[in-house]
Structure 1
Amino acid sequence: MTPQPQHRSLWLDRPAPITTDEWRSLDPVDVVILGAGLSGLTTAAMLAEQGRSVVVLEARSVGAVTTGNTTGKVSLLQGSRLSQIRDAVSRELAEAYVAANRAGQDWLLSHLRDNGVAYDERTAVTYAATDAGAPTVEAELDAASALGLDVSATRSLELPFPVLAAVYLADQAQVDAMDVLDSLVRTIRRNGGLVIEGVRATSIESGNPCIVSTSRGDVAAERVVVATGTPFPKRGAHFATLIPQRSYAIACRWPDRSLEGMYLSVDEQTRSIRDVHRADGSYLVVGGNGHRGGKGAPTLERFDDLLRWTETTFSGTAASHSWSAQDYRSTDELPHFGPITAGDDRVLVATGYAKWGFTNAVAAAIALSSRLADARPAWAESLESRPSAFTAIGSTLEAGAKVAGDLAHGWAAAELTPEPTNPPAEGEGIVVRHGVSPVAVCTIDGVTHRRSAVCTHLGGIVAWNNAERSWDCPLHGSRYTPNGEVLEGPAVQPLAE
């Protein structure tokens, strides 16, 4: 029998954890940053190097949510993103997006070189293996060229299957995500900052100072940066203009093999392909099969499909790891960084990277840290001063309609599903009716858990994710453990008993 891959990302499978700080009673600081992913840690590193006092609070552990579960591509060629953005916004904003990503890439790679962190230079390739995908590749070639990227077309690739169209951009990079975060944590602590894990923020009172309420006590700061994937405070209503996107990846041992490029398809079933060389050998990382968070179950089949495709397509592979990640796309296709609401620059947010955080998150950090240094890049001014994502009326209304439909469907399905006589099988979960209340019931390690199925953010009905063994809300991407504790998303309170 083929051994099952461990359910953990290749990057999080490290010999030793990243060194962080213990919780303590904190004096007021210049900036509290919520979230120890790439956005939060890069912002903290930049501010600490400016000489400001910073504290990073992370509800789980460094890199536990999105950054530690990516594929680690640092590229300006981003699948079909540039053509999507060009079609959605003005040329000025599209150019600002490219400039922001270029600045983010330049800063990150410079930081890695200065701190002795290895990364691989690769050619980024967007390709289509189907007739339906070929026009998208052509549109991306046109958009990328018009926006100043030195891209070229080709049909000759090193991949072991035919490709109908492809566009490539040289001199891009791929990284080990946790090596990057480790370096940033070291930079923060070296400059007097703190990074504290296991502390969940539950509310923010904007003022002078701001007060952040957490699971361990209050923290005061001149400013607060919310870098939690999607901002959890309801003011600003960012959740209404963000679409949670979940995607999957596997790593396979691939002895004595290597790739010159890193690849992303634009076909209906996307495929992200890159290699990894570590001290314990070479790996092939394949991702894809994305869907809207909380929808598209059963999720376990998405891993099985990736594994079958990889073993059939690339000879000599043996699966070692599997994982998934959640990111957020904004309805106007652009990342958002800046004040949580107009006129309140004491609380800042960063979100909406559409799976391209290794450039966008660093660009957000540059923009946010520059607000305190009074040296704003022109691209930051352009992106921050654009109309609210609510003005992207068509896509925002479409997203809202889906949320409303999911809300109604979830409650109706729960009302129609009586509780079975026997508990769910091991590893399975179901939402049932108990009286007039929807109840989430699952069995993990022989223990049956029962919690309210009502998401504590805005009342959506959670669905069982059998790959991650979690309860996921389809409305805005909140996720919970089997016993109802918050994993990620805008929710900050656990599922009720």
Structure 2
Amino acid sequence: MDTSERSVSVWKEEVTPLAAPPLEESTTADVCIIGAGIAGLTSAYLLQRRGVNVVVLERGAIGGGQTAQTTAHLASAMDDRFEQLIRFFGTSGAQLAYESHAAAIDTIEAIAQGEGIECDFARLDGYLFLGRDQDPKDLDKELDAATQVGFPGVEKIERSPLQSFDTGPCLRFPQQAAFHPLRYALGLVAAVLRDGGRIYGGTAVSDVEGGDVPTVTTETGLTVKAKAVIVATNTPFNDRFSIHTKQAAYRSYVVALPVPELGVPRALYWDMEDPYHYARLHRLRREDGGYSEMVIVGGEDHKTGEEDDAEERYARLEMWARERFPVSGEAIARWSGQVMEPVDGLGFIGADPGHSKNVYIATGDSGQGMTHGTIAGMLLSDLIAGRENPWADLYSPRRRTLRAVGEYARENLKVARHYAEWLERSPMANADAIPRCGGAVLQRGIHKLAVYRDEGGKLHERSAVCTHLGGIVHWNSEERSWDCPCHGARYAPTGEVLQGPAVKPLEEVPSEGEGMEVLETPELPEPAEALHRKAS
């Protein structure tokens, strides 16, 4: 099953993800890495360069997951703003966050240069400006916070260099960057293989068991025994509760629009609206050897599974872009991706919080997956080697950020409300209204069914109960997927897992009439009840 998104990013138009061979026999390694995105591949590269033998397992194609859906901003100017990070972590913690992201950009640059990876890496300025009707004091507060954490060269200027739109006062952050994420990722693959690492695609993992000799088991029953395991799967599937109560899955949308060559200053552009917008320039390589200039604009985020209005969000993004950039034609591409938002704004990188010995996780990219993923590789390679790292406590998955307790409560109350869907009747009575290539949740007695009608008109029925912690999935018509609003698990139309934390596919449904006498009103599964109590 292809785990990529249905919408195709400009990166995948230029570079096809690598269809690496699957694992065909059980094996051993020093470190087994699950997930071949930026976090997993950076970890593999840095470990292999230290002489640590690695095996990388990826469910789908190499570079076919969320790394292919990014807009590839490389920023040490934080998405969650320095003012907020100081409030949550203090000035010293916010300073470490800045320094880690700056070091990640330096590391990407050094690897690209050292390995000769042609990934269009370029240093750029980043410009942060106000949204509509926002208080100019918000910029001053962020400038003061950035200065406190020691961000060199940050300054407030009258406007960004855009000639097509007056942003008004903005902050200029120097030494940011951009690159082509898939070209870089596949460059890492080549270097890992050269150094003796092994990378397998089409290999789904069903279980991770920690201990003195951790064991990774695939869906086909093969095993990889190692001294350490890294779970770098966007969101960890081996942890059932602790991490998933501290972060939430969001969908973010992207459009790529043509602009005149050299018509827009090359930079990163961000506004402060909620949800905010972010833009960058990219030169698309054409088959004739030439280039097409485009602006890539992202935003319009919403919690995964809670909305099904992608067309409206793409339209709003395009309108936002056309008001600010000299767009010269119709959209070239559009796509969406999944972002894990931790309640305190920083990723979770380190030892498994479930106390599974010698197992490590990397998650919580908070919209900065390329730098967070690189930080993960740097930090985890140190932890596995027994080296001290100044970022270890800051990114620890076991941390508790007391000042973020309000955000923690809000996100988990949303989850609790979604579990109440168990007690609600599904609005659609039968499958007659489901169009071809469409889906809906239907009610059969006490059972909720995820029903999909394929292109040929055939209906496919699976249970609508997420196999992670029992939430009710929702249909995503843009990606043609079943998305769980509780913790972000996603499934193909016919029930196969596309994205964790779920491991098992949606279950087969009982025959009509079966089980209807069991309960007049269904009860929440025990894990969901426990989570409901914690959230309340």
What is the TM-score normalised by the length of structure 1?
A: 0.93
Alpha-carbon offset, residue 176 of structure 1? 0.8
Instruction: Show CA shifts across 1:211-259 (max 9, x none).
Output: 1111232221111100111111135621111111210001123342342
Q: Is 1:357 aligned to 2:369, yes or no?
A: yes
1:437 to 438, 441, 447: 447
**Does the 8 Å contact 2:254/2:314 carry over to 1?**
yes
Alignment of 1:22-37 (within 5 A): 22-37=22-37
In structure 1, list runs of 5 or more residues that go unmatched: 1-5
Q: Is 1:262 aligned to 2:268, yes or no?
A: yes
Q: Is 1:127 aligned to 2:132, yes or no?
A: no
Alignment of 1:407-418 (within 5 A): 407-408=419-420, 410-413=421-424, 415-418=425-428
Alignment of 1:103-118 (within 5 A): 103-116=103-116, 117=118, 118=120
**Does the 8 Å contact 1:235/1:341 carry over to 2?**
no
Instruction: Show CA shifts across 1:198-221 (max 9, x none).
Output: 111111111232111112322211
Hey, what does 2:226 align to over in structure 1? 221
Letter in 2 for 1:492: V
Alpha-carbon offset, residue 449 of structure 1? 2.5
Q: Is 1:428 aligned to 2:438, yes or no?
A: yes
Alignment of 1:64-213 (within 5 A): 64-116=64-116, 117=118, 118-132=120-134, 134-149=136-151, 150-159=153-162, 160-213=164-217
Alpha-carbon offset, residue 407 of structure 1? 1.4
**Does the 8 Å contact 1:241/1:390 carry over to 2?**
no
C-alpha separation between the residues in 2 aligned to 1:466 and 1:138?
Answer: 42
Alpha-carbon offset, residue 392 of structure 1? 4.1
Q: Secondary structure at the match of 2:245?
A: helix
C-alpha separation between the residues in 2 aligned to 1:293 and 1:260?
Answer: 32
Alpha-carbon offset, residue 172 of structure 1? 1.4
Hey, what does 1:446 align to over in structure 2? 456
**Does the 8 Å contact 1:367/1:376 carry over to 2?**
no
Alpha-carbon offset, residue 49 of structure 1? 0.8
**Does the 8 Å contact 1:431/1:439 carry over to 2?**
yes
Alpha-carbon offset, residue 398 of structure 1? 1.9
The structure whose residues are more often strand, as a share, is: 1
**Does the 8 Å contact 2:14/2:284 carry over to 1?**
no
C-alpha separation between the residues in 2 aligned to 1:135 and 1:484?
Answer: 49
C-alpha separation between the residues in 1 aligned to 2:397 and 2:465?
Answer: 36
Letter in 2 for 1:147: V
1:397 to 394, 409, 418: 409
Cα distance 1:316–1:436, how it changes in 2: closer, same or farther (>3 A)?
A: same
Alpha-carbon offset, residue 168 of structure 1? 1.3
Letter in 1 for 2:69: N
Cα distance 1:62–1:154, how it changes in 2: closer, same or farther (>3 A)?
A: same
Instruction: Show CA shifts across 1:18-65 (max 9, x none).
Output: 363442314211111011111111001111111111111111222222
Letter in 1 for 2:284: R
Out of 70-79 and 6-15, give the one that drifted further.
6-15
Alpha-carbon offset, residue 163 of structure 1? 1.9
**Does the 8 Å contact 2:89/2:401 carry over to 1?**
no
Letter in 1 for 2:496: E
C-alpha separation between the residues in 2 aligned to 1:259 and 1:18?
Answer: 33
Q: Is 1:468 aligned to 2:473, yes or no?
A: no
Hey, what does 2:302 align to over in structure 1? 291
**Does the 8 Å contact 1:130/1:163 carry over to 2?**
no
Cα distance 1:474–1:232, how it changes in 2: closer, same or farther (>3 A)?
A: same
Alpha-carbon offset, residue 389 of structure 1? 5.1
Instruction: Show CA shifts across 1:61-93 (max 9, x none).
Output: 222222111110111113443222112222222
Q: Secondary structure at the match of 2:358?
A: strand
Hey, what does 1:3 align to over in structure 2? none
Alpha-carbon offset, residue 421 of structure 1? 5.6
Cα distance 1:134–1:325, how it changes in 2: closer, same or farther (>3 A)?
A: farther
Counting matched residue pairs gives 490
Hey, what does 2:340 align to over in structure 1? 328
Out of 32-41 and 341-350, give the one that drifted further.
341-350
C-alpha separation between the residues in 2 aligned to 1:109 and 1:387?
Answer: 30
Cα distance 1:373–1:234, how it changes in 2: closer, same or farther (>3 A)?
A: closer
Letter in 1 for 2:438: E
Letter in 1 for 2:440: I
C-alpha separation between the residues in 1 aligned to 2:103 and 2:357?
Answer: 23
Instruction: Show CA shifts across 1:130-160 (max 9, x none).
Output: 2226443332222111111121112322332
Out of 305-314 and 185-194, give the one that drifted further.
305-314
Cα distance 1:378–1:305, how it changes in 2: closer, same or farther (>3 A)?
A: same
Letter in 1 for 2:278: S
2:503 to 477, 489, 492: 492
Cα distance 1:155–1:391, how it changes in 2: closer, same or farther (>3 A)?
A: closer
Alpha-carbon offset, residue 170 of structure 1? 1.6
Cα distance 1:12–1:243, how it changes in 2: closer, same or farther (>3 A)?
A: same
Hey, what does 1:306 align to over in structure 2? 317
Hey, what does 2:46 align to over in structure 1? 46
Out of 41-50 and 10-19, give the one that drifted further.
10-19
Alpha-carbon offset, residue 418 of structure 1? 4.5
Q: Secondary structure at the match of 1:291?
A: strand
2:358 to 334, 338, 346: 346
Hey, what does 2:257 align to over in structure 1? 252
Alpha-carbon offset, residue 400 of structure 1? 1.4
Letter in 2 for 1:433: Q
C-alpha separation between the residues in 1 aligned to 2:160 and 2:375?
Answer: 31
Hey, what does 2:396 align to over in structure 1? 384
Query: What's the % identity of the aligned pairs?
Result: 30
C-alpha separation between the residues in 2 aligned to 1:444 and 1:138?
Answer: 53
C-alpha separation between the residues in 1 aligned to 2:50 and 2:329?
Answer: 46
C-alpha separation between the residues in 1 aligned to 2:407 and 2:376?
Answer: 23
Q: Secondary structure at the match of 1:11?
A: helix
Cα distance 1:235–1:458, how it changes in 2: closer, same or farther (>3 A)?
A: closer
Letter in 2 for 1:351: T
Alpha-carbon offset, residue 476 of structure 1? 0.4
Alpha-carbon offset, residue 123 of structure 1? 0.7
C-alpha separation between the residues in 2 aligned to 1:84 and 1:181?
Answer: 31
C-alpha separation between the residues in 1 aligned to 2:431 and 2:502?
Answer: 31
Alpha-carbon offset, residue 382 of structure 1? 4.6
Could you say what the CA RMSD is over the residues aligned between the two structures, in angstroms? 2.2
Alignment of 1:52-63 (within 5 A): 52-63=52-63
C-alpha separation between the residues in 1 aligned to 2:87 and 2:300?
Answer: 24
Hey, what does 1:273 align to over in structure 2? 279
Letter in 2 for 1:395: E
Cα distance 1:72–1:125, how it changes in 2: closer, same or farther (>3 A)?
A: same
